[in-house]
Structure 1
Amino acid sequence: MTDTGSPVIELDLSSVKDPPRDGLHLLPAEVRSDGDANVRQYFTAAVRESDGEMQVSFRGRALRGRDLPVPLGYVGLVLKEDHEPCLEEEDRRVRVKSAFSSVTYWNLETPPTADDSVVMAMSWTQLAEAIHAPVEEQ
């Protein structure tokens, strides 16, 4: 815990070196499981691609999606907490479970657009760099 009384989240740095690479899907649904799933066999195998758009059915509902690359110079990480604390005030320790360079983003019934919050978030780094870049005097 910090001097301010706030809990600390510590990253196990030994897990950062060369983590396994996995595909990542962001679904518009709540899946009440945090264990591993055989996504490649039961989900990815059913994905149909046409004209750069991806389509699949999940629990009887049509999903439409697209791959969103992680911004240049960044890597996406999936973090795992092996021991869940009993109290919110306890310090936490996480490790890198896997890494990804793109995320497949799915919408219910409609294809993702530039107005979707996830799509906009992936372009945030470019905006942040522009905002924080040094201003040249003229």
Structure 2
Amino acid sequence: MLSIQRRNTKEAPQECTPNLLPCRIDHDGPVNASRRYWAPEHDKDGNLEAYFRGRKLKGREVTLPEGYKGVVVKEAATEDETQQRNTERLRRRQLEEQDMDEDDEDGEEEVKMLEEVANFKEFIVWGHEAVADEDDAFVKGVEEWIGFAAAMHAPGIDAENEKKPGT
């Protein structure tokens, strides 16, 4: 299970615009990038365009629907702190589930703590020399799957009382 917590509850998280590049970079730490190496600009058609290591990239801005926000996270706690939080959560859950049969106990469930570093309302999906199309997994995830999930969880449809075809 994942649990997301804010780094500092007194300050609002930093705003950012993530860039999803069509490549794999085997580095997961900070980078001192300068405008010399990453300077996306709008072309004459209004699309984003940039060059990364000599390769031309075209970008598509994807805006999250109203009511949604994206979150950039990192692992929050050391192993000891995570274990301590997991133990505390397990104790609370056991107190809440005292009425449950002892045979139905699930083992300890590990809770991985993540820390919110920044959030975003839009991101950019980059493609090699072409704008990411509608079938791109990230574009589809926002434009199609969020709407599908909302429709599935919408109130008002009762499966037992729904008319079946042919009746």
Aligned-pair distance for 1:49? 2.8
Corresponding residue of 1:10: 3
- Unaligned regions of 5+ residues in structure 1, if any? 1-7
**Aligned-residue offset at 1:50:** 2.6
Q: TM-score, normalised by structure 1?
A: 0.75
Instruction: Give yes or no for the alignment of 1:25 onto 2:53.
Output: no
Q: Please give the alpha-carbon distance, in whole angstroms, between the structure 1 residues aligned to 2:124 and 2:131.
A: 12
Percent of residue pairs identical: 30
Aligned residue number for residue 88 of structure 2: none
Letter in 2 for 1:132: H
Deviation at residue 44 of structure 1 after TM alignment: 4.7
Residue 137 of structure 2 corresponds to: 117
* TM-score, length-scaled by structure 2: 0.64
CA shift digits 1:28-56 (9 cap, x unpaired): 11122212234562455243433221111
Number of residue pairs the alignment of both structures matches: 128
Give the distance between the partners of 1:38 and 1:104, measured in 2 at CA: 20
RMSD: 2.8
**Off by >3 Å, runs of 4+ in structure 1:** 13-17, 82-85
- Please tell me whether the aligned partners of residues 16 and 118 of structure 2 are also in contact (alpha carbons under 8 angstroms): yes
Aligned equivalent of 1:68: 62
The higher-RCO structure (CA 8 Å, 6+ apart) is 2
Where structure 2 has 5 or more consecutive residues not aligned to the other structure, the ranges are 80-108
1:31–1:42 CA distance, 2 compared to 1 (3 A):
farther
Choose 1 or 2 for highest CA Rg. 2
- Using the alignment, how far apart are the partners of 2:78 and 2:41 within structure 1? 34
Task: Sort the Cα spacing of 1:73 and 1:103 in 2 relative to 1 into closer, same or farther, 3 A.
Answer: same
- Shift in CA distance, 90/36, structure 1 to aligned 2, threshold 3 Å: same
- Is residue 107 from structure 1 mapped to residue 127 from structure 2 by the alignment? yes
